[in-house]
């Protein structure tokens, strides 16, 4: 395997069982993964599982295969280290530079990006000792993810759940694309992101919808949360996407519901990103009962214009609030996508506009994205093709520099 070399550290918590799925995702997307479990991780998941899924040997201590000096080599040669789950004990050992097993020794020799995905009980996560260790690791440049909230082992709930393996894999890819993509520069900020496509009801079972998957908006919410922001994600219809860790998700259906949710959420927010695909029109009348086939000739579909939420947000903008819009454009006889993007930025009055050239399978329902980031100050930055998380990280750079 010639893909990026990833060390997957697994510490001894019950969430260790989810590391097998993360491993699968990493190998399937072409990474060469060597698993470094702690001895306690092997109490939860057998070495054979990791060996079979990675195709590489698994050892926990520093005294196996000594002539190959794995405790130095593995870290030196890695392109990325991901520790998932990272327990309170593992974070403590990493923060204090212990090297008492192969994983912690490798953390000391690695010079590549390091991503810790914590999982533990809420009390352990919130304890000052753990929080100090997290701050210390972050101050040295490691990325320590905010855990998700939800059900923990047993009946209790709270922050401390391992983020979805899909989310960890997405953020791991982001760090390989861009090692400095997740600074804590949005700490203390509150941001609102809209995502997905609205559905405009016609009758109790039918609607007018669009092809937005919500992936770009979810990536924006995820990246903002992991850069320290308090995030509200107003989500219309999306593909099946897991809730981003440490994000407050508000679900809506129609454009009218999205408008109400956005107007409520943006109060006091530092930044707002409208990445949702909002329907421009809705059926003028909502039939109370399902429209029957053949009962009468169908009425022509009469449409009413929806309010432009972005323009309304710009109109009611609070002092200092940064507002970002999206534009999916195709070129035509009047000009290319960028030309239309510039005109839209002027029309909408937002601070930043992400322009995506769409058509030919680009942007919609795919993991990657590209385009331009236009600023009301006249700035134009090309957004090279990459993951939607990478594009999100560029948007937050521009937002952070304007806050």
Task: Summarize the annotated binding site as residue ranges.
Answer: 280, 290, 307-310, 326, 344, 348
State the Cα–Cα distance between residues 148 and 119, nearest whole angstrom: 9
What minimum distance in Å lies between the beta carbon of 239 and ligand C5P?
A: 17
Please report, for residues 343, 358, 381, the alpha-carbon distance to residue 374 in angstroms, rounded to integers and kept in the order given: 11, 17, 7
Alpha-carbon span 116 to 288, nearest angstrom: 51
Beta bridge partner(s), residue 197: 237, 277
Q: Which is nearer to ligand C5P, 26 or 255 (CB)?
A: 255
For residues 28 to 67, the per-residue mask of contacts with ligand C5P, x marking binding by CB under 6 A and - elsewhere, is ----------------------------------------
- By CB under 6 A, tell whether 308 contacts ligand C5P: yes
Phi-psi region of 349 (alpha: psi -120 to 50; beta: other; left: phi over 0): left
Q: How many residues bind ligand C5P (CB under 6 A)?
A: 12
Reading the block at residue 258, the tokens are: 């999205």
Location of structure tokens 């204090």: 96
| Exposure string over 44-55, b if 16+ CB within 10 A, otherwise e | bbeeebbeebbe
Which of the stretches 120-128, 304-312, 365-373, 385-393 binds ligand C5P when contact is defined by CB under 6 A?
Answer: 304-312
Collapsing DSSP to helix, strand or coil, 160 comes out as strand
Q: Which range binds ligand C5P by CB under 6 A, 57-65, 180-188, 301-309, 364-372?
A: 301-309
**Shortest Å distance, C-beta 3 to ligand C5P:** 35
Q: How far is the CB of 205 from ligand C5P (least distance, A)?
A: 24
What distance in Å separates the CA atoms of residue 107 and residue 97, rounded to the nearest whole number?
A: 8
Q: Which residues are documented as binding site for CTP? A: 280, 290, 307-310, 326, 344, 348
Q: Does 306 bind ligand C5P (CB under 6 A)?
A: yes
C-alpha atoms less than 13 angstroms from C-alpha of 264 in its C-beta half-sphere: 11
Is residue 306 part of the annotated active site? The answer reads: no
Residue closer to ligand C5P, measured from CB, 172 or 235? 235
Measured from the CB atom, is 186 or 278 closer to ligand C5P?
278
Q: Tell the smallest beta-carbon distance from residue 369 to ligand C5P (Å).
A: 14
Whether residue 85 has a cis bond before it, omega within 30° of 0:
yes
Report the residue number, 228 or 325, with the smaller CB distance to ligand C5P. Answer: 325
CA distance 362 to 385: 10
| CB of 156 or CB of 365, closer to ligand C5P | 365
What is the C-alpha separation between 384 and 386, in angstroms, rounded? Answer: 6
From residue 259 to residue 298, the character string flagging contacts with ligand C5P as x (rule: CB under 6 A) and all else as - is: ---------------x-x-x-x------------------
By the rule CB under 6 A, 395 interacts with ligand C5P: no
CB 194 within 8 A of CB 258: yes
- With contact defined as beta carbons under 8 Å apart, do 95 and 87 qualify? no
Site for ligand C5P in 317-336 (CB under 6 A): 325-327
Of the listed 210, 306, 356, 369, which one is catalytic? 210
φ, ψ of residue 274 to 5 degrees: the values are: -95, 85
Least distance from ligand C5P to the Cβ atom of residue 382, Å: 19
Contact status, residue 285 vs residue 302, Cβ threshold 8 Å: yes
Quote the least distance from Cβ 316 to ligand C5P, whole Å.
Answer: 13
Stretch that binds ligand C5P, among 68-76, 136-144, 305-313, 369-377 (CB under 6 A): 305-313
Is 125 one of the binding residues for ligand C5P (CB under 6 A)? no
Rounded distance, CA 276 to CA 251, Å?
Answer: 12
Residues that bind ligand C5P (CB under 6 A): 255, 274, 276, 278, 280, 306, 308-310, 325-327
User: Catalytic site residues?
Assistant: 210
């Amino acid at each position: 395997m010639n893909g990026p070399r990833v060390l997957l550290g697994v510490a001894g918590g019950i969430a260790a069982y989810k590391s097998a799925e993360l491993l699968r995702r990493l190998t399937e997307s072409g990474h060469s993964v060597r698993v470094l479990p702690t001895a306690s991780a092997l109490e939860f998941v057998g070495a054979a599982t990791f060996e079979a899924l990675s195709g590489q040997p698994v050892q926990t201590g520093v005294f196996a295969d000594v002539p190959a000096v794995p405790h130095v080599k593995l870290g030196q040669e890695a392109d990325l280290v991901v520790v998932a789950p990272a327990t309170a004990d593992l974070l403590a050992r990493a923060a204090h530079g212990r090297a008492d097993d192969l994983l912690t020794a490798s953390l000391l020799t690695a010079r590549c990006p390091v991503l810790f995905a914590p999982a533990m009980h809420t009390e352990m996560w919130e304890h000052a000792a753990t929080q100090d260790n997290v701050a210390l690791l972050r101050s040295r440049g490691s990325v320590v993810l905010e855990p998700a909230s939800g059900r923990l082992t047993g009946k209790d709930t709270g922050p401390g759940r391992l983020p979805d393996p899909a989310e960890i894999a997405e953020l791991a890819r982001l760090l390989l694309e861009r090692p400095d993509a997740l600074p804590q520069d949005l700490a203390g900020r509150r941001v609102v992101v809209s995502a997905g496509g609205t559905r405009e009801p016609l009758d109790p079972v039918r609607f007018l919808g669009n092809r937005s998957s919500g992936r770009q908006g979810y990536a924006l919410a995820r990246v903002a949360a992991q850069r320290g922001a308090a995030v509200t994600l107003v989500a219309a219809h999306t593909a099946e996407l897991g809730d981003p860790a440490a994000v407050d998700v508000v679900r809506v259906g129609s454009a009218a519901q999205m408008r109400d949710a956005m107007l409520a959420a943006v109060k006091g927010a530092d930044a707002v990103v409208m990445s949702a695909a909002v329907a421009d029109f809705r059926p003028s009348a909502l039939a109370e009962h399902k429209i029957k086939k053949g009962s009468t000739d169908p009425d022509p579909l009469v449409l009413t214009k929806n309010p432009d939420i972005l323009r309304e947000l710009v109109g009611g903008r609070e002092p200092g609030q940064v507002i970002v819009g999206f534009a999916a454009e195709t070129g035509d006889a009047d000009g290319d996508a960028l030309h239309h993007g510039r005109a839209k930025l002027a029309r909408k009055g937002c601070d930043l506009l992400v322009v995506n050239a769409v058509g030919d399978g680009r942007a919609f329902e795919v993991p990657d994205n590209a385009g331009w980031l236009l600023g009301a100050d006249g700035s134009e930055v090309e957004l090279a093709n990459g993951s939607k998380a990478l594009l999100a990280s560029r948007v937050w750079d521009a937002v952070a520099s304007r806050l």
